[in-house]
Amino acid sequence: MINDTMIRMKVTGLTIDPFTNMPIIILKDLDEKMALPIWIGLIEASAIATELEKIELSRPMTHDLMRNILDTLQVTVTRVEVTDLTDNTFFALIYLKKDGKEFIMDSRPSDAIALALRTKAEIYVDKKVMDKSRRIDLSKQVDSGQVKEQKWTELLENLNPEDFGKYKM
């Protein structure tokens, strides 16, 4: 059961931290009022990008293999949750279900999100993570119901430089 501290999110894209050149995955709430940037590794960004772009590779990547194993074992990924942000490190859980029994696995958010995208599982972020993070308040970016024509890098550049490179995978 999902508690009321969880905010349903969707992946809206990837960008690059202009200061560290590290990939950042951008999650938005379903109302598109808040965005959460999470710094991730290059390999995880590649795994997420191939799924977002629906790129078919000749051999399965690790997250594709994980999905295939789960499918073969008839295990369902019901949801993933980004549950905490401690000492600049994000934490996530993957919720699995088999024969009515639920299993919870610790995960890095990047791996959890890559798997969620492949299995069409819902993605949630705990409100406390949003409070602790350098989220972007999109409601301040709205003009006449339309989001201003700003690139994500411009939005991220408006944050203080010391905020960049702050978060670990």
> Tell me, what CATH number does 82's domain have?
3.10.690.10
Confidence of residue 18 (pLDDT cuts 50, 70, 90): confident
Q: In the predicted model, what is the mean pLDDT of residues 130-142?
A: 73
CA distance 12 to 9: 9
Q: What is the pLDDT of residue 168?
A: 43
Question: For 103-112, how does the pLDDT look when each residue is reduced to its tens digit (9 = 90+)?
Answer: 999 999 999 9
Residue 85 lies in domain: 6-161
Q: What is the pLDDT of residue 108?
A: 96
Confidence of residue 56 (pLDDT cuts 50, 70, 90): confident
Q: Establish if 60 belongs to a structural domain.
A: yes
What is the CB neighbour count within 10 angstroms for residue 31?
10
Q: Comparing C-alpha atoms, which of 94, 103, 88, 153 is closest to residue 124?
A: 94
Confidence of residue 127 (pLDDT cuts 50, 70, 90): very high
Confidence of residue 133 (pLDDT cuts 50, 70, 90): confident
Q: In the predicted model, what is the mean pLDDT of residues 82-93?
A: 94
CB neighbour class for 123 (10 Å; exposed up to 12, middle 13-18, buried from 19):
buried
Q: Establish if 167 belongs to a structural domain.
A: no
Q: Establish if 131 belongs to a structural domain.
A: yes
| 8-22, 32-46, 142-156: range with lowest mean pLDDT | 142-156
- Residue 89 above 50 pLDDT? yes
Number of structural domains in the chain? 1
Q: Establish if 71 belongs to a structural domain.
A: yes
Q: Establish if 12 belongs to a structural domain.
A: yes
CA distance 132 to 135: 8
Q: Establish if 166 belongs to a structural domain.
A: no
Q: What is the pLDDT of residue 149?
A: 40
Q: Establish if 1 belongs to a structural domain.
A: no
**Mean of all residue pLDDT scores within the chain:** 84
Sign of CA dihedral 73, 7, 90, 116: positive
Q: Establish if 20 belongs to a structural domain.
A: yes
